[in-house]
């Protein structure tokens, strides 16, 4: 059930859903999603569905992971990516295959500990994780080519924009019960907003949880 064949079926489904970028399809086919959920759920890891990871959080649906990764690559291979909400670590593991350096922040400590262990097992050495509040970004490693996340703030956190590289962009779901995936691109004349599509993510919450 966690075989290469099952994984390839997932890739075929992603293609049918419109994911075209070979770098993304390759990265998804090489990343074992079943390692990012509890054993009892591993048999469902290659279904196109979000799965619970505890603390009322979910590992995003494969389609949305692929879509966000594809968007992250729109300007070529990113150098530094800041991810808000490590969760299970799955999106980080996929990103690790297509970008140079991943910096990932998670506010719930036990989730972060598990994610770190999985990333170690997979030898994703270009991922650095931190327990903290994503709303604050990670100034020490700024600027980032891409800032992205799978938790929705009510509005775009303006202070994060200052951690973007010139020509960098932020990609976040924004809103409450109705959310849009929004891209804010840094340009010489300021920030340009693009609405990508309707989405549904868990809310981004302030502060940390031990
Ligand atoms: N991409 C993740 C999905 C995780 S769900 C995966 O592949 O598994 C979103 C995650 O964002 C949750 O783990 C949640 O705890 C975290 N989160 C919510 N608000 C946050 C914040 N302010 N800072 C950091 N992480 C946050």
pLDDT at 2 over 80: no
The residue range of the domain holding 104 is: 53-199
Mutation to probe ligand 1, out of 107, 135, 147, 159 (largest number of atoms < 8 A from CB): 107
**Is residue 193 domain-resident?**
yes
Picking from 55, 64, 136, 43, the residue whose alpha carbon sits closest to that of residue 88 is 55
Residue 80's CATH number: 3.40.50.150
In the chain, the percentage of residues whose pLDDT exceeds 90 is: 96
In this predicted structure, what is the pLDDT of residue 210?
84
**Which residues are identified as catalytic?**
60
**Is residue 36 domain-resident?**
no
pLDDT at 75 over 60: yes
**Is residue 156 domain-resident?**
yes
**pTM for the complete prediction?**
0.97
**Is residue 3 domain-resident?**
no
pLDDT at 1 over 60: no
Alpha-carbon Rg for the chain in angstroms: 16
Confidence band, pLDDT 50/70/90 cuts, at residue 160: very high
**Is residue 5 domain-resident?**
no
In ligand 1, the atom with minimum distance to the C-alpha of 206 is 22
Q: Per residue in 4-32, pLDDT tens?
A: 888 899 999 999 999 999 999 999 999 99
Number of structural domains found in the chain: 1
**Is residue 190 domain-resident?**
yes
**Is residue 26 domain-resident?**
no
**Is residue 45 domain-resident?**
no
Q: What is the DSSP string of 112-130?
A: HHHHHHHHHHTT-TTEEEE
Q: What is the pLDDT of the chain when averaged over all its residues?
A: 96
In this predicted structure, what is the pLDDT of residue 89?
98
Yes or no: say if 59 and 70 are a contact pair by the CB < 8 Å rule: no
Yes or no: say if 140 and 52 are a contact pair by the CB < 8 Å rule: no
């Amino acid at each position: 059930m966690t075989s290469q064949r099952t994984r390839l079926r997932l890739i075929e489904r992603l293609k049918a859903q419109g994911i075209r970028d070979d770098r993304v399809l390759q990265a998804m086919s090489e990343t074992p999603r079943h390692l990012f959920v509890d054993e009892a759920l591993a048999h469902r890891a290659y279904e196109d569905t979000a799965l619970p990871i505890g603390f009322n959080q979910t590992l995003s649906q494969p389609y949305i992971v692929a879509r966000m990764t594809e968007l992250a690559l729109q300007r070529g291979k990113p150098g530094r990516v800041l991810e808000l909400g490590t969760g299970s670590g799955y999106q980080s593991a996929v990103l690790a295959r297509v970008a140079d350096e991943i910096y990932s922040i998670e506010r719930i400590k036990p989730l972060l500990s598990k994610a770190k262990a999985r990333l170690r097992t997979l030898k994703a050495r270009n991922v650095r994780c931190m327990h903290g509040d994503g709303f604050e970004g990670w100034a020490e490693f700024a600027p980032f080519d891409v800032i992205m996340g799978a938790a929705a703030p009510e509005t775009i956190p303006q202070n994060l924009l200052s951690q973007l590289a010139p020509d960098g962009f932020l990609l976040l779901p924004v809103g409450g019960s109705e959310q849009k995936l929004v891209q804010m691109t840094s340009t010489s004349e300021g920030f340009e907003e693009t609405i990508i599509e309707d989405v549904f993510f868990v809310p981004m919450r302030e502060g940390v949880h031990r």
